[in-house]
């Protein structure tokens, strides 16, 4: 691989670039013989900010331009937050590595300098999954949609448009903003989005990506596959109000899930535990049970 150049594709948001650079640093450390170049681009999902994602076609809008660049050979790999990827990926563009997982939980963020939230102002979130669950905790707090990249959401919060907003811990941490976190929700309070906290690397079929062995984390990969199996069984894209979170302890895996019935507007939570090797099967078992209302 000496002298080989790897072109890495990323969305152009500050968080996406920071995550891509984390992956590139791992590759550079393990393979100093490789030349790495970062190419950024704005996606359709970054441009439409006045509507919730489930209203405009889902989170596939965040990958369309990068997928096209991969297929055309303009980039060699693309780097994504796994939670932003559609459940169905093209056989031509497989997921080829899963990073070690940052804290996967959701967090509450107050306006900068505030010691409490003004609940007369709305609670901001771009996710129906978060909205459903947080209403159990704050039943009287009005929830409104907030779109944009992490900096844009924080700016809207700090300018007085919201009393607080809900974000992923991972994004806050990777931008060095953990001091902004006011509350970390437990996985039982707010089940995270499938893949939250994991960075995924996408490549082209039948190419040699052995240089990514230094990036891939087996526990993350097994958890990611179980979580995505849960969502896939329920026929939910990334914009669906479905939550899935797997944790590995010893040789066991615990899977939490949230299923939302679009027709009845009801949702159910549950969990399954078993052997790690049965992770995807356990996830499907849980999905079936919750869909049946059990």
pLDDT by position in tens, the chain (length 294): 556 899 999 999 899 999 999 999 999 999 999 999 999 997 655 444 444 444 444 445 568 889 999 999 999 999 999 998 988 888 999 999 999 999 999 999 999 999 999 999 999 998 999 999 999 999 999 999 998 889 999 999 999 999 999 999 999 999 999 999 999 999 999 999 999 999 999 999 999 999 999 999 999 999 999 999 999 999 865 556 899 999 999 999 999 999 998 888 899 999 999 999 999 999 999 999 999 987
67 is annotated as an active-site residue:
no
The DSSP annotation for the chain comes to -TT-EEEEEEESSHHHHHHHHHHHHHHHHH-TTSEEEEEEE--HHHH--SS-GGGTT-GGGGTHHHHHHHHTTS-SEEEEEGGGS-SS--TTS-EEEEPPPPP--EEEEPPTT-SS--TTSPEE-S-HHHHHHHHHH-TTS-EE---S-HHHHHHHHHTTS-SEEEEEHHHHHHTT-GGGEEEE--TTTSPPPTTTT-EEEE--TT---GGGGGT--HHHHHHHHHHHHHHHHTT--TTSS-EEEEEEETTEEEEEEEEE-TTT--EEEEEEEEEGGGHHHHHHHHHHHHHTT-
Q: Are 34 and 28 in contact (CB under 8 A)?
A: yes
Whole-number Å distance between alpha carbons of 99 and 52 = 28
CATH architecture of structural domain 106-184: 3-Layer(aba) Sandwich (3.40)
113 phi-psi bin (left φ>0, alpha ψ -120 to 50, beta other): left
Q: How far apart are CA 159 and CA 111, in angstroms?
A: 8
pLDDT for the residue numbered 270 = 97
Query: What tokens were used for 293?
Result: 């209302």
**Would you identify the CATH topology of the domain 217-294?**
Double Stranded RNA Binding Domain (3.30.160)
How far apart, in whole angstroms, are the C-alpha atoms of residue 63 and residue 191?
A: 24
106-184 matches 1-99+198-215 in CATH topology:
yes
Q: Would you say 253 and 275 are in contact if contact means Cβ atoms under 8 Å apart? A: yes
Rounded Cα distance between 22 and 16, Å, is 10
| Separation between Cα atoms, residue 124 and residue 274, nearest integer Å | 36
CATH level 3 topology of 1-99+198-215:
D-Maltodextrin-Binding Protein; domain 2 (3.40.190)
Residue 242's CB is within 10 A of a number of other CB atoms, namely 28
Distance (Å, rounded) from C-alpha 24 to C-alpha 19? 9
**Domain boundaries along the sequence of the chain:** 1-99+198-215, 106-184, 217-294
Task: Please tell me the predicted confidence (pLDDT) of residue 43.
Answer: 66
Q: Quick one: pLDDT at residue 293? A: 82
Which residues on adjacent β-strands are paired with residue 255?
246, 272
Q: Please compute, for residue 180, the number of CA atoms within 13 A of its CA located in the half-sphere on the CB side.
A: 28
243-249, strands of its sheet edge to edge:
243-249, 252-260, 267-275
Catalytic residue among 46, 54, 76, 84: 84
State both tokens at 49.
């900010």
Q: Estimate to the nearest angstrom the gap between the alpha carbon of 16 and the chain centroid.
A: 11
């Amino acid at each position: 691989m000496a002298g080989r150049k790897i072109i890495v594709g990323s969305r152009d948001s500050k968080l996406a670039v920071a995550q891509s650079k984390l992956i590139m640093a791992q590759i550079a450390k393990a393979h100093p013989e490789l030349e790495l170049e970062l190419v950024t681009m704005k996606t359709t999902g970054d441009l439409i900010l006045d509507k919730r994602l489930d209203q405009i076609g889902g989170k596939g809008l965040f990958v369309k331009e990068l997928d096209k660049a991969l297929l055309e050979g303009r980039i060699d790999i693309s780097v994504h937050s796994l939670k932003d990827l559609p459940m169905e990926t093209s056989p031509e563009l497989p997921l080829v590595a899963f990073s070690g997982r940052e804290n996967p939980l959701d967090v509450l963020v107050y306006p900068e300098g505030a010691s409490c939230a003004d609940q007369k102002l709305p609670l901001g979130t771009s996710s129906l999954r978060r909205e459903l669950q947080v209403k159990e905790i704050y039943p009287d707090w009005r929830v409104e949609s907030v779109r944009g990249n992490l900096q844009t959401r924080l700016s809207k919060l700090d300018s007085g448009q919201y009393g607080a907003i809900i974000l992923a811990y991972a994004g806050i941490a990777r931008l060095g903003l953990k001091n902004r976190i006011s509350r970390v929700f437990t996985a039982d309070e707010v089940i995270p989005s499938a893949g939250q906290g994991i960075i995924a690397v996408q490549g082209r079929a039948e190419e040699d990506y052995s240089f990514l062995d230094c990036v891939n984390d087996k526990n993350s990969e097994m958890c990611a596959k179980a979580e995505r199996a849960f969502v896939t069984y329920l026929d939910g894209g990334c914009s669906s109000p479905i939550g899935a979170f797997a944790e590995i302890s010893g040789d066991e895996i615990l899977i939490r899930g949230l299923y939302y019935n679009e027709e009845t507007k009801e949702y159910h939570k549950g969990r399954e535990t078993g052997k790690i090797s049965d992770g995807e099967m356990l996830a499907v078992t849980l999905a079936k049970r919750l869909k049946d209302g059990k």
